[in-house]
Structure 1
Amino acid sequence: MDDDTVTPRELAERLRAGERLSVVDLRDRDEFETWHVDGPAVAATQVPESRFVQAEVTGGAADLVDGVPEPVVAVCGRGEASDYAAGLLREAGVDAVNLAGGMEAWARVLLAAPVPTDGPATVVQYQRPSSGCLGYLVHDGDRAAVVDPLRALADRYVADAAERGVEITYAVDTHVHADHVSGVRAVADETGAEPVLPEGATDRGLAFDATLVGDGDEVPVGDATLAAVHAPGHTSEMTAFRVDDAVLAGDSLFLDAVARPDLEATADPEAAAATLYETLHERLLALPDDALVAPGHYELDARPRTGDAYAATVGDLRESLPALAMDEAAFVDHVTGNLPAPPANHERIVAVNLGQEEAEDDVAFELELGPNNCAAG
């Protein structure tokens, strides 16, 4: 980082570390309210670009951020208007930098963190701070599997695997995602890896060739395995994967919430919520208290809970999540009564992920911009 600019990766690392800073967003109010840079110690505010233009003529740029704690990061769509605004703020004596590349570049950041296990597998968690999406690389020996990869960042997993000296032999999805475009086929095309999806994906209209796994099936990764655990509720085919003493939980159990049950078009939300209750209590919470849950998403204002990874033990989650202490009726009411807006373009994203519809890379990238919204409130 120089005195004028912060790169998206640098900003992401600072936010993950819990650094306090303010974000001043120059985009339109609706864009800001839908999606903005966030973090556990971020104060975000929206100031229209037009007010900075006016301030250049009349002075008083510092007044636009009066009461906003420093340091300040100025943000816009592509990093141009915010560069201009950050310059005005610095001239007015404010500690301000520009987010290089703006929100478009922010959406391409992918951080990595180790997830500790007690067995042979090395597990790496990939974090997309623009949306809270989490994916994983599991490797042992010279073999690897990538789980829940993002299409927009498919080349990152491939490059990371090459740097680690391992070959990606499987590209795995835990379910048919509704919040982002899957990278399973992109990784498979680039590496020759075998695409793997839960067997229930066929009932949802899967339209491309993939290896299908059911409950108890294993995907070998060197001397380690990904053991499939059918975990329906969020979707009917949702499948978690045990890796040593950890579980890649997908969109079933998060660190701060449980999954929403309404993103599968043919599902009845109340029935799906009841299924999720059964999944959580009979499958995931039945794991040992020290089993580590590594979810498919995290809240943008959350802090990592296992080193730099967003993961927590079953015992910790049982104690910290109120929804897990509810009886079934209260749980169903809670889950179905606290539903945020669905992810943007979720119906089209599902169609793309099933292979029923194609989307060019730039279109796919635009489809998924914004928060994931896969958890119940």
Structure 2
Amino acid sequence: MAEPDESDASELVPAELTSWLRERRAFTVLDVRDRDAFETWHVSGPSVEAVQRPHQKFIAARVTETTAELAPAGPEPVLVVCAVGEASAEVAEQLRGAGVDAWNLAGGMAAWARHYEAVELLCSTATVLQYHRPSTGCLSYLVVDEGNERRAAVIDPLRAFAERYAADAAAHDASLAYAVDTHVHADHVSGVRTVAAQTGAEPVYPRGISSHEPSFEATPTLVQDGESLALGHGTIALETVGLPGHTPDGVGFRLGDSEQGDLLFCGDTLFLTTVARPDLAVESEAVDVMARTLYASLATLASMAPETRVAPGHVSESTRPDDGGRYVATLGDLRERLDLLGLDEAAFVERVTGSLPPRPANDAEIRRINLGQQAADDETAFELELGPNNCAVE
């Protein structure tokens, strides 16, 4: 079990928090932000008890010497959290003085939101990095051709981390040739145009995005089912697979691998614990139609080889990675463990339309930004996307 850095035993950095969550360590999160901020988004997980008590109560408790009465009843250690890690540091110290095993989340929720991890996926035809943003569950991918041309593609990049992809490609002696989105995202601000502007990479979207009337400064490349994006000259390519259903324009990209099993970067169509929601990009009267479209796309996936490995666009807080920290599963495994994939169409439509969580925060505004219909500076874009992704049915 990972332990906090001994150099400052009162501080827990975001990477260590990620380890606690993955290990299912039992602990309590004490969030000292206001109630609205807590209810919008807070640190959570299957092994976590999260409570909110405002900082002002702890200030008053110092005077009355009643801090112990404010200590949460959940399991210790107690991780104290605020927006930037300052008020929470005061509260953690105060709780320790009252005998509580309390820690401060260094940098607060701001640092948690900016924590981004990468792990290499097994692949015999290319180097593939899977990026994970633990605070929201977003996954992105960097695919690097290891041949003479050293070209790379980033799939579903996040704008907040645009510089990371180019740096990692350069670390592999490669240049970014493509910045690709699998669909119009509603939960985070896309990094496709930012990466393209910074690196000269070709921006790539599904052809179906045209129906949403995008307004981009530069004309992107549009791809549809059966078309490919070449990386190595005649060696490797990303084959487009039409996967509408989460959105009308959705696609996936398949990377051939005869040794490990093909990798399918399927965006938000299929996850490791459930399937996509069909309601974010259409009017309410069209949700049933989109659910049937999603059913057909999942049938397309069912026709693929069972050893095909699904690399999804998100994971939920309950999803566990493999021993190497990778979020990947074969289609064969998913068919066995996801009952949604065994339903007939009518039952499937009823189930997915009746299991819709709250919409992602600011989803309509984020979609407009991702379509180029609305501008947002970096800080505004970052603030808009904070919160759970909520792109899957429950």
TM-score of the pair, normalised by structure 2: 0.91
Match among 324, 345, 354 for residue 371 of structure 2 = 354
Is 1:43 equivalent to 2:53 in the alignment? no
Q: Distance in 2 between matches of 1:221 and 1:266?
A: 38
> What one-letter code is carried by the residue in structure 1 that aligns with 2:282?
A
Q: Which residue of 1 aligns with 2:384?
A: 367
Provide the residue aligned with 1:93 in structure 2: 99
- After superposition, the C-alpha distances for 1:157-177 in whole angstroms (9 at most, x for unaligned) are 222222222211110000010
Q: Counterpart of 1:310 in structure 2: which amino acid?
A: Y
Taking the aligned partners of 1:157 and 1:39, their CA distance within structure 2 comes to 28
User: Which consecutive unaligned segments of at least 5 residues does structure 1 have?
Assistant: none
Q: Identify the match of residue 194 of structure 2 among 186, 190, 210.
A: 186
In structure 2, the residue matched to 1:29 is 35
Alignment match of 2:181 (pick from 173, 176, 196): 173
- Residue 226 of structure 1: aligned partner: 238
Gaps of 5+ in 2: 257-261
Letter in 1 for 2:270: L
Shift, 1:266, TM fit: 4.6
Question: What is the identity, as a one-letter code, of the residue corresponding to 1:187?
Answer: V
Q: Give, in whole Å, the separation in 2 of the partners of 1:247 and 1:40.
A: 28
Deviation at 1:306, TM superposition (A): 6.2
Aligned amino acid, residue 274 of structure 1: R
Task: Give the Å deviation of 1:6.
Answer: 1.5
Determine the structure 1 residue equivalent to 2:276.
259
Deviation of residue 256 (structure 1)? Answer: 1.3
Q: Which amino acid aligns with 2:348?
A: F
Q: CA deviation at 1:12?
A: 2.0
Task: For residue 157 of structure 1, give the secondary structure of its aligned residue in structure 2.
Answer: helix
| Conserved 8 A contact 2:204-2:220 | yes
**Aligned-pair distance for 1:66?**
4.4
Q: Which moved more, 1:14-23 or 1:229-238?
A: 14-23
**Residues 159 and 48 of structure 1, relative CA distance in 2, 3 Å threshold:** same
| SS at 2:290 equivalent | helix
Q: What's the counterpart of residue 253 of structure 2?
A: 241
Rounded to whole Å, the distance in 2 between the matches of 1:116 and 1:173 is 22
- CA distance, structure 1, for counterparts of residue 21 and residue 143 of structure 2: 25
SS in structure 2 of the partner of residue 362 of structure 1? helix
Equivalent position amino acid for 2:274 in 1: A
What is the one-letter code of the residue matched to 1:237? D
Alignment partner of 1:138: what SS?
strand
- Superposed CA offset, 1:224-252 (max 9, x none): 21110000000111001111211011010
Q: Alpha-carbon deviations, 1:7-47, whole Å to 9, x = none?
A: 22332233234333321111222322221112343222222
Where relative contact order (Cα < 8 A, 6+ residues apart) is larger, the structure is: 1
Equivalent position to 1:212, from 219, 222, 227 = 222
Matched, 1:67 2:85: no
- Contact kept, 8 Å, 1:234 with 1:262, in 2: the verdict is yes
Query: Deviations 1:318-375 (Å, cap 9, x if unpaired)?
Result: 1111211111111101111111111111111111111111111111111111111111
Q: Deviations over 1:285-341 (max 9, x none)?
A: 221112111110110232113631111111111111121111111110111111111
Give SS of 2:266's match. Answer: strand
Task: Say which SS state the counterpart of residue 118 (structure 2) adopts.
Answer: strand
- Which residue identity is paired with 1:57? V
Pick aligned residue for 1:130 from 117, 135, 154: 135
* 1:17 to 1:9, Cα distance in 2 relative to 1, 3 A: same
Equivalent-residue separation in structure 2 for 1:33 and 1:256 (angstroms): 24
In 2, Cα distance between equivalents of 1:61 and 1:310: 41
Rounded to whole Å, the distance in 2 between the matches of 1:368 and 1:127 is 15
Moved over 3 A (4+): 17-20
Shift of 1:202: 1.0
Deviation at residue 59 of structure 1 after TM alignment: 2.4
Structure 1 counterpart of 2:312, from 295, 304, 307: 295
Farther-moved stretch of structure 1 (340-349 vs 56-65): 56-65
State the alpha-carbon separation in 2 of the partners of residues 211 and 294 from structure 1. 23
Q: Given the alignment, which residue of 105, 112, 116 partners 2:118?
A: 112
Structure 2 counterpart of 1:108, one-letter code: R
1:168 partner SS: strand
Determine what percentage of the aligned residue pairs are the same residue: 53
SS at match of 1:38: coil
Secondary structure, aligned partner of 2:252: strand
Question: Aligned AA for 1:271?
Answer: V
CA distance in 2, matches of 1:11, 1:93: 22
Are the equivalent residues in 1 in contact too, given 2:30–2:72 (CA < 8 A)? no
Partner of 2:115, secondary structure, is: coil
Q: From 305, 330, 353, give the equivalent of 1:313.
A: 330
State the one-letter code of the partner of 2:266. Answer: A
Identify which range, 79-88 or 162-171, moves more after superposition: 162-171
* Counterpart among 189, 193, 210 of residue 202 in structure 1: 210
Segment of structure 1 superposing worse, 47-56 or 138-147: 47-56
Which range moved further: 240-249 or 40-49?
40-49
Q: In 2, are the aligned partners of 1:40 and 1:303 still within 8 Å (CA)?
A: no
Q: Which amino acid aligns with 1:140?
A: D
The residue aligned with 2:162 is 154
CA deviations on 1:147-195 (whole Å, 9 max, x unpaired) are: 0000011112222222222211110000010111000011111111110
User: How far apart, CA to CA, are the structure 1 residues paired with 2:386 and 2:316?
Assistant: 16
Aligned residues: 375
* Amino acid across the alignment from 2:111: A
